[in-house]
Homo-oligomer: A and B are copies of this chain.
C-alpha cells in the first residue's frame, strides 16, 4: 500500500536537483542546428558569442552532456521559490467525478508569476559572470520580462526590455512590476533601433509583435558595449534550465511511487513543456519507461498541429539565426482577439524534432474552451491560472473526462506554469460573453508559409 498522498508534495531544499538535464544527450536524432542566414551554414560558437554569453553558447550547442551542474549561486536563488509544489488536484477530481488522478506542478508561486524565472536567473547569472553590464530582451504578455527584471535586480545587472506595444499599453501593471525591479521598459516597435524605425515607417500605428521586439532587443545587444541578448523560450539553453521543473516533478512522483500515464503541457515556444517533459522523455528515449506526452497549443496559433517543419526566421526583422522548427511563418501574427498567450510563430527545435519523431502528441484548443477550464479550475483548486497554463488545464480536464467514460484510473500530470493576475481583461471579456474564437484559415497559413526562407 502506498503512502497517503498529501494535497501538495513539497520536496526538501536538499532534494532540489543539483544539475539540469539535457534531453539532447539521449536523442538519437539531434535537433537541427541554428543556421547563419547569410551563409546557410551552422552558426559557430564564435558567431553566437556576439549575441549570447559564452557559457550560454556552450549550453546551446552541447548535444552530448546529459547533466550540467547548476551553479551554487543559481541554486541559492532557486531556494527563494523552489522546490515548487506538485499538487494533487483532489478538488478538481471530485468536481469532475473522474477516476483519474490528476497532479499539477505549480510554477506560479513567485512574483514573476511563472516558470520563466528558472531560466532568467540562469541567463542573468552567466551574463554577470562574464562581466557584462546588462542584457536586453523582448517580452509579450510580460511574464518573461518580469522574470528577467527580478533576476537582473538580484544580481545588479542592467535590464532593457522591449515590450510588444499592445501589451505595454494594455498591461501597465506588468510594466510597473518590471520598473519595481529597476528594468527599463520600451514599447516596441520603437525609434531606438534601426529595425524599429523601419517597421514603424512601413507600418505606422502597428501594435507590434514578439518577432519585432526580438529584432529590436537583438540589435541593441549587438550594438551596445557590454550587453548580450537573452531569450525566454525556444532555445535549447532555455529548455535545459527549465528541466528543473521536470526533475522536481519526477522526484516528487517517485517519492510517492506514482507512475504517470500522461504528461501534459501548454506550448508556445516550448520552454515550459520542454522543461516539464525532459526527464520523462529521457526515460522514454532510453527505453526505461513509456509516457504519453501531449503538447497543447491555441487554435489561433497552431504551429505544431498546422505548421510546417522547416527552417524559418526566429524574428520579424530577420536579424536572428534561422531555426528548424514547426512554424507558421515568421510573419504570422495571431488574430487580435486572441488573449491566451502562446503566440509565437515557431516552436523549440528540440520539441519539433521529438514531435517529428513521433515521440509526443499535439493538439490545439479554442480560447473560450480554455477560459471555461480556467474558471472551473480557479473555483475548485483556488488558483487563478494564467491563460497560457489553462491550455494544459483544458487538455487535462478533457483526458480526465475520457477516463470517466471508460472508467480508467489514469494518472495525469500537467504543468501549471503561472498565475493570471495580469490577465483580468481577458477574464472580463470571457465573463461578459465578449470573448470570441478565431481559427486561421488554411489559406492564411499557406500564405504565411509561402514566405519561408529557402535553405
Q: Is A74 an interface residue (CB 8 A)?
A: no
The contact of A172 among B81, B172, B424, by CB within 8 Å, is: B424
Q: Give chain B residues whose Cβ lies under 8 Å from the Cβ of A181.
A: 378-379
The contact of A150 among B80, B110, B382, B421, by CB within 8 Å, is: B382
Q: Is A126 an interface residue (CB 8 A)?
A: no
Q: Is A239 an interface residue (CB 8 A)?
A: no
Q: In this complex, what residue of B is CB-closest to A428?
A: B176
- Is A381's CB under 8 angstroms from B172's CB? no
Q: Smallest Cβ distance from A33 to chain B, in angstroms?
A: 36
- Is B91's CB under 8 angstroms from A382's CB? no
- Is A81's CB under 8 angstroms from B382's CB? yes
Q: Give chain B residues whose Cβ lies under 8 Å from the Cβ of A153.
A: 379
- Is A7's CB under 8 angstroms from B172's CB? no
Q: Is A109 an interface residue (CB 8 A)?
A: yes
- Is A7's CB under 8 angstroms from B381's CB? no
- Is A79's CB under 8 angstroms from B382's CB? no
Q: Give chain B residues whose Cβ lies under 8 Å from the Cβ of A13.
A: 6-8
- Is A382's CB under 8 angstroms from B80's CB? yes
Q: Is A206 an interface residue (CB 8 A)?
A: no
Q: When each residue 90-108 of chain A gets 1 if its CB lies under 8 Å from chain B and 0 otherwise, what string results? A: 0100000000000000000
- Is B180's CB under 8 angstroms from A382's CB? no
Q: Smallest Cβ distance from A107 to chain B, in angstroms?
A: 12
Q: Give chain B residues whose Cβ lies under 8 Å from the Cβ of A110.
A: 382-383
- Is B80's CB under 8 angstroms from A7's CB? yes
Q: Give chain B residues whose Cβ lies under 8 Å from the Cβ of A419.
A: 111
Q: Is A251 an interface residue (CB 8 A)?
A: no
* Nearest 3 A/B pairs, CB to CB: A173-B424, A176-B424, A7-B79
Q: Is A179 an interface residue (CB 8 A)?
A: yes
Q: Is A10 an interface residue (CB 8 A)?
A: yes
Q: Which of A367-395 contact B (CB under 8 A)?
A: 375, 378-384
- Is A111's CB under 8 angstroms from B384's CB? yes
Q: Give chain B residues whose Cβ lies under 8 Å from the Cβ of A177.
A: 384, 421, 424, 427
Q: When each residue 106-122 of chain A gets 1 if its CB lies under 8 Å from chain B and 0 otherwise, what string results? A: 00011101000000000
State the interface size on chain A (CB cutoff 8 A): 40
- Is B378's CB under 8 angstroms from A176's CB? no
Q: Smallest Cβ distance from A88 to chain B, in angstroms?
A: 10
Q: Is A154 an interface residue (CB 8 A)?
A: yes
Q: Give chain B residues whose Cβ lies under 8 Å from the Cβ of A7.
A: 13, 79-80
Q: Is A438 an interface residue (CB 8 A)?
A: no
The contact of A180 among B6, B91, B179, B384, by CB within 8 Å, is: B384
Measured CA separation A172–B177 after assembly (Å) = 18
Q: Is A422 an interface residue (CB 8 A)?
A: yes
- Is A154's CB under 8 angstroms from B427's CB? no
A80-B91, A419-B111, A431-B179 known; A154-B10 Cβ under 8 A? no
The contact of A176 among B173, B379, B427, by CB within 8 Å, is: B427
Q: Smallest Cβ distance from A374 to chain B, in angstroms?
A: 8
Q: Is A182 an interface residue (CB 8 A)?
A: yes
A80-B382, A111-B384, A182-B379 known; A172-B10 Cβ under 8 A? no
The contact of A383 among B8, B111, B384, B428, by CB within 8 Å, is: B111
The contact of A421 among B12, B154, B173, B427, by CB within 8 Å, is: B173
Measured CA separation A410–B111 after assembly (Å) = 28
Q: When each residue 1-36 of chain A gets 1 if its CB lies under 8 Å from chain B and 0 otherwise, what string results? A: 000001110101100000000000000000000000
Q: Which of A419-455 contact B (CB under 8 A)?
A: 419, 421-422, 424, 427-428, 431
Q: Give chain B residues whose Cβ lies under 8 Å from the Cβ of A379.
A: 150, 153-154, 180-182
Q: Smallest Cβ distance from A128 to chain B, in angstroms?
A: 15
Q: List 15 A-B contacts (CB under 8 A).
A: A7-B13, A110-B382, A111-B384, A150-B382, A153-B379, A154-B379, A154-B380, A177-B384, A179-B428, A180-B375, A180-B378, A180-B379, A181-B378, A181-B379, A421-B421
Q: In this complex, what residue of B is CB-closest to A149?
A: B379
Q: Give chain B residues whose Cβ lies under 8 Å from the Cβ of A80.
A: 7, 91, 381-382
Q: Give chain B residues whose Cβ lies under 8 Å from the Cβ of A113.
A: 421
Q: Smallest Cβ distance from A270 to chain B, in angstroms?
A: 25
